[in-house]
Amino acid sequence: MKFLDHARVEIRSGAGGRGCVSFRREKFVEFGGPDGGDGGKGGDVWAEAVDGLNTLIDYRYQQHFFAKNGQPGMGKQRTGKSADDVVLKVPVGTEILDDDGETLVADLTRVGERVLLARGGNGGWGNLHFKTSTNQAPRNANPGLEGVERTLWLRLKLIADAGLVGLPNAGKSTFLAATTNARPKVADYPFTTLHPGLGVVGIDGTEFVLADIPGLIEGASEGRGLGDTFLGHVERCAVLIHLVDGTSETLAEDYEVILGELEAYGEGLAEKPRLLGLNKVDALSPEDAEAAAEILAEVSGLTVHRLSGATGLGVQEMLRAVRAEIDAARVVAAAEDREVGTWRP
């Protein structure tokens, strides 16, 4: 299935049915009076986060979602049938934005969350509602209210606990394949990863979700390479795993490029907890690996984890460090939820 994380949709709720003008006409009932029923309610348009979806590809082939109108009222005080609702099923992690692409309408981060995007129009009153002591035969009824028409953007941000960032060919896909059951494309040329990927990591009897995104290059924030829009998929991560190719001759510059792109993207990515991994140490001698680790430690001020996604060297130690960061972030998030009264045990 092709990955798609942006989609534009046109929605319209249904209009309410018009009220009915009718009079009771029965044998032996001389003054029957008005008995026009109300119109039915127009259908609403909802969005719901569902399990089992990880792409917005369905909205590439269908962009228009129009609810039906309510049926008009009928005589004998019969109310018109209300129209069925229309539900847009989206993956967990989908943001819904207004037509300007910036105003956030809703952020669906849990399975089963629903949001009303367009309310259907109420049905009009039949002439029965207009009966008074001075107007016992009203011949007017209300039309139903019009529906709401909107243009919206759907933007998917994957729900993951940790995210991989780095230059192309830093070994991110190899790391993902070595630690999860995901099978991303791995090759010896840049930009083998064209779409984000997810995998579930198992470590010490616990699990967490790891996201891999296409590699960043200098100027990605200005549109170079594949750009930096894929960074949206690691915005929700508790920790970033920054992999640096240990065989590179420009280790310090490689590190600075990624840090600069994170800062240029914004959204707090540069301030997120980061674990720095010197990858591909299996291709280095012990002396060269030590020298490379010292260079990265000096330029970053972080602890440098030496590892190899290809051989598994140092991978378990890195995963345990990632797990510790995720646990710490969850403790903080739970405390914040309790403060605002949204904590769920």
Known binding residues for Mg(2+) = 173, 193
Sequence-distant (6+) residues with CB within 8 A of 157 are 5, 93, 94, 95, 232, 233, 235, 236
Q: Report residue 9 CA to chain centroid gap.
A: 15
The answer to whether 293 touches 306, Cβ cutoff 8 Å, is yes
Contact call for residues 305 and 298 (beta carbons, < 8 A): no
Q: What does the alpha-carbon distance between residue 304 and residue 286 come to, in Å, rounded to a whole number? A: 15
Nearest partner of 208 among 333, 84, 94, 326, judged by Cα: 326
Residue 48 phi/psi, 5° resolution?
-135, 135
Backbone torsions φ then ψ of 261, nearest 5 degrees: -70, -35
User: Binding site for GTP: which residues?
Assistant: 166-173, 191-195, 212-215, 279-282, 308-310
Q: Binding site, residues?
A: 166-173, 191-195, 212-215, 279-282, 308-310
Helices 315-340, 172-179: crossing angle, 10 deg rounding? 80
Three-state helix/strand/coil letters over 96-114: EECCCCCCEEEEECCCCCE
Q: Which of 209, 212, 279 is nearest to 238 (CA)?
A: 209
